[in-house]
A and B are shown apart, each in its own frame.
Chain A
């Protein structure tokens, strides 16, 4: 394995991690506020579809992005409605949103484009294109450090950079601002927030909508950045992997980044090495490599990586009157 191969694997790791980072931070906002959200998957899927559909129809990826964000935030608002205003079961609401998104995107997709649930392939302004950093070509010639700049950092779509920047921004928002303080408090002990004279519902709605926004970015990236169009159920469990990453990260932004990079790395390896031959063991089938991220998900969710303590008030609707 030569140096350039490693750089290339890391490069695809970044590319593959970006949607996970968006979804994981989305979940972080929601769960930190005390609203569990297993509907990350559905929101990403809805955004992926509507961004690709609108981009295909208008030829503008930015209009597509707006449509995707809107779709995801509408679903987020529904989840908020169900779990905040109506104090319903957050898991059931999340499951419903996943089913709704999966069925709705296939149905509308078939109805609009007659391509079996796909959208037409996007090209030109209909996609987010890679951004080449200045002087990438010449800096790339510098031995060792050059390829890190030209191959690894340069050449991603804008949403990958947005995803990476969202991590420190989330940290700052969470730990340095009034909104973050209240958000963290409301997920731990909503009564403390309520007796402090702050509205629990309003805080949670804002958190849920931010969750929708970030899921929207992740979904739009999948369909208009990473791929060139929408394919039925293209999120393929990324929302759930992001949830696992969130637990792995113990609901902290920096750890969330690392966890998502790990999942992205596993995916990158699986794509790069379809068949790995280990001496004395034989060839490891490609299916096993592809299953690795999901296996890691199960390992994490089974609690095998140490105790993760979720926000204490998570999953419980806040009911003041007894």
Chain B
């Protein structure tokens, strides 16, 4: 059955032409073109939010593209929903598994492909097929086990089996190793190699360059919704890919004097975070920030940045120690919440300002007080808030931070991204923190506002505040920070003085290649 006559044998197995997709104002995919040959393993790399998952969801019919065409095996196919994609031989293993947790493996495998009114024939059929597949591809899994009792590695096998049961010729895997142990990941790659030997075409989405290098034949790089390059894996190297992923836009350098750095203000030792799924997101992270110093945390998104910010900001619990000016403050339990952190003088500008930093349907003046609304300056007495005064304060701060329009009686959702960010900054900076923790300060912010925000952060540093800057924008790290630590896979993989390093060196660290490992020669900066 695998030697079907193809009406055009030279046609690629998958061809995407001009795929575009927006979610509201966010353009997730811009005019994507891609060709993948039959029987090959094709990798797609890019940072979180680069549009990889969206693109594959379009191919699988989960989202509809705004424009563009899809050809499978040379035939134009209008993939209107997942059913059409399945019919066309496409199977997908999603990053977050689409399994029914209280169903057995067999029930999950046949769901949607039962073929008859009673499910018994399909269950029996699947049982036989599963044992065949298990031996062919080392995809062993107990067919009668409940999904919720299986390890994530086995759950993933079920997803692959689901696709194979539907006779998929094309298998898309979205960040398949994110939840796997290294041994499980190795086993998965063996499975993928076997599948490609049998003529299956595989698309592997990941942001881990090591995986791309070890298992793929060809690789495409995505950045900010665009496909920036497609290369043969054997003719590239992790460093080139890292540069393509992170990109190098025009540097916006900020005037920065050297300042006297003071004592250690923020100290963090052995910070670890385990997320709800039991996956360790941060492992024994230690660092310190001195007064009047900016420590930049660089890294490809999704390597623990969010968890670091949330642990230090008091949003989620963590283990380890955190000290402000030598005084230990809790990371877990009583006194570890966001309000207590503020009391200790830690201000937090969250990376997702719309979710954690602001209430969009509230006025600007209300948002200016949030988190500090219990303080005397915003209250008339123990019962009543002083709205008039809060508005006045908001008006002053909005003028100071050049927030446009400078009207406190404006809903926050009606401000642009840059001005929204300035509202958060105004609120946090006007409280004169000892330590500022700031995540992705200029994400989605226009250029003018970027300069202003950068200047404010530098000013604060010059006043002697210790600043932890978490950013996936390498440019931002370079222009602001005094020292850089690189976060990879939940660990700080290296630390450099900003002046003494370059983008190539950091790019290697961001790709998880530690110095001294001898894997890659350190090249001179191309910039």
Q: Which residues of A contact B107 (CB under 8 A)?
A: 181, 185
CB-contact partner of B111 in A177, A193, A320, A321, under 8 A: A193
Which residues from 79 to 136 on chain A have a C-beta closer than 8 Å to any C-beta of chain B? none
Residues of A within 8 A of B116 (CB): 178
Of the candidates B62, B101, B102, the one whose C-beta lies within 8 Å of that of A320 is: B62
Count the B residues whose beta carbon is within 8 Å of the partner chain — how many? 33
B98 touches A176 (CB 8 A): no
For B99, the chain A residues whose CB sits under 8 A away are 189, 192
Kindly specify which of B117-125, B321-329, B510-518 makes contact with the partner chain: B117-125
Which positions 346-389 of chain B face chain A at CB distance < 8 Å?
none
B110 CB contacts on chain A under 8 angstroms: 181
> Quick check: is A137 within 8 A (CB to CB) of the other chain?
no
User: Does A312 lie at the interface of the complex (its beta carbon under 8 Å from any beta carbon of B)?
Assistant: yes
Rounded to whole angstroms, the CA-CA distance of A197 and B60 in the bound complex is 10
Does B83 make an interface contact (CB < 8 A)? yes
Q: Which residues of B contact A197 (CB under 8 A)?
A: 81-87, 112-113
Cβ of B82 and Cβ of A184 under 8 Å apart?
no
Report chain A residues within 8 Å CB of B86. 196-197
CB distance from A161 to the nearest CB of B (A): 25
Question: Which applies to chain A's interface (DSSP): helix, strand, loop or mixed?
Answer: helix
Q: Do B63 and A321 touch (CB < 8 A)?
A: yes
Known A181-B111, A181-B114; judge A195-B82 contact (CB<8 A). yes
The reply to whether B101 and A196 contact each other, CB–CB distance below 8 Å, is no
A142, CB-defined interface residue at 8 Å = no
Chain A residues, CB < 8 A from B85: 197
A189 to B147: give the CA distance in the assembly, Å: 12
Highest count of chain B CB atoms <10 Å: which of A181, A191, A320: A181
Question: Chain B residues with Cβ under 8 A from A180's Cβ?
Answer: 119
**Residue picked from B23, B108, B119, most chain A C-beta under 10 Å:** B119
In the complex, which residue of chain B has the Cβ closest to the Cβ of A181? B119
Q: Residue A267 at the B interface, CB < 8 A?
A: no
Residues in A179-209 with C-beta less than 8 Å from chain B: 179-182, 184-185, 188-189, 191-198
The reply to whether B102 and A192 form a contact with Cβ atoms under 8 Å apart is: no
Q: Which residues of A contact B98 (CB under 8 A)?
A: 189, 191-192, 194-196
Query: Do A176 and B119 touch across chains, with their CB atoms under 8 A apart?
Result: yes
Max chain A Cβ within 10 angstroms of own Cβ: one of B62, B94, B112, B119? B112
Q: Is the CB of B92 within 8 A of A195?
A: yes
**A322 touches B (CB below 8 Å):** yes
Using A177-B117, A192-B108 as known contacts, say yes or no to A184 and B83 having CB atoms under 8 A apart. Answer: no
Q: How far is the CA of A191 from the CA of B122 in the complex (A)?
A: 21
The answer for the CA separation of A285 and B210 in the assembled complex, in Å, is 77
CA distance A178 to B101 in the complex (A): 18
B119 surroundings in chain A (CB, below 8 A)? 176-178, 180-181
Residues of B within 8 A of A192 (CB): 98-100, 108, 111
Q: Does B103 contact A (CB under 8 A)?
A: yes
Least distance between A156 CB and chain B CB atoms (Å): 31
Tell whether, in the assembled complex, residue B23 and residue A322 are in contact, meaning their CB atoms are under 8 Å apart: yes
Name the A residues within 8 Å of B92 (CB-CB).
Answer: 195
Question: For residue B110, which residue of chain A has the nearest CB?
Answer: A181
Question: Which residues A282-322 have CB closer than 8 A to chain B?
Answer: 312, 320-322
- Could you tell me the distance between the alpha carbons of A182 and B111 in the complex, rounded to whole angstroms? 7
Known: A178-B117, A192-B99, A197-B86. A185 touches B111 (CB 8 A): yes
Q: Which residue in chain B gives the minimum CB-CB distance to A180?
A: B119
* Closest Cβ neighbor of A320 among chain B residues: B62
Cβ contacts under 8 Å, A181 to chain B: 107, 110-111, 114, 119
Residues of A within 8 A of B82 (CB): 194-197
- Complex Cα distance A141/B402, Å? 96
Q: How many angstroms between the C-alpha atoms of A189 and B63 in the bound complex?
A: 18
Of the candidates B83, B103, B114, the one whose C-beta lies within 8 Å of that of A178 is B114
Q: CB-nearest residue of chain A relative to B23?
A: A322
Residue from A179, A180, A182, A194 with most neighbouring chain B CB atoms (10 Å): A194
Nearest A residue to B26, CB-CB? A322
Q: Which residue of A lies closest to B112 (CB)?
A: A196
Q: How far is the CA of A188 from the CA of B110 in the complex (A)?
A: 16
Binary interface encoding of chain A residues 154-171 relative to chain B, with 1 for a CB under 8 A from any of its CBs, else 0: 000000000000000000
What residue in chain A is nearest B94 (Cβ atoms)?
A195
- The answer to whether A184 and B112 have CB atoms under 8 Å apart is no
- Report the minimum CB–CB distance from B458 to chain A (whole Å): 36
Q: Bound state CA distance, A181 and B115, in angstroms?
A: 12
Q: Which B residue sits closest to A185, measured CB to CB?
A: B100
Chain A positions within 8 Å of B122 at CB level: 178
Report the minimum CB–CB distance from A152 to chain B (whole Å): 34
How far is the CB of A232 from the nearest CB of chain B, in Å?
Answer: 42
Query: Which residue of chain B has its CB nearest to the CB of A312?
Result: B101
Q: Which of B84, B108, B122 neighbours the largest number of chain A CB atoms within 10 Å of its CB?
A: B108
Residue on A with the closest CB to B85? A197
A188 and B103 in contact, given A196-B113, A197-B81 (Cβ under 8 angstroms): yes
Q: Which residue of chain B lies nearest to A322 when distances are taken between CB atoms in the complex?
A: B23
B23 proximity list for chain A (CB < 8 A): 321-322
Chain B 68-103 interface mask (CB, 8 Å, partner A; 1/0) = 000000000000011111110000101000111111
| CB of A23, distance to nearest CB on chain B (Å) | 25
A129 to chain B, nearest CB (A): 36
Cβ–Cβ contact A188 & B111, under 8 A: no
A-B pairs with beta carbons under 8 Å apart, 18 shown: A178-B122, A181-B107, A182-B111, A185-B111, A189-B98, A192-B98, A192-B99, A192-B111, A194-B98, A195-B98, A196-B98, A196-B111, A196-B112, A196-B113, A197-B82, A197-B85, A198-B83, A320-B63
The 4 closest A-B CB pairs, nearest first, are: A196-B112, A197-B83, A178-B114, A192-B98
Q: What 16 additional pairs, Cβ within 8 angstroms, besides A176-B118, A181-B114, A195-B82? A: A178-B116, A178-B119, A181-B119, A184-B100, A188-B101, A188-B103, A192-B111, A194-B62, A195-B92, A195-B94, A196-B86, A197-B83, A197-B113, A312-B101, A320-B63, A321-B23
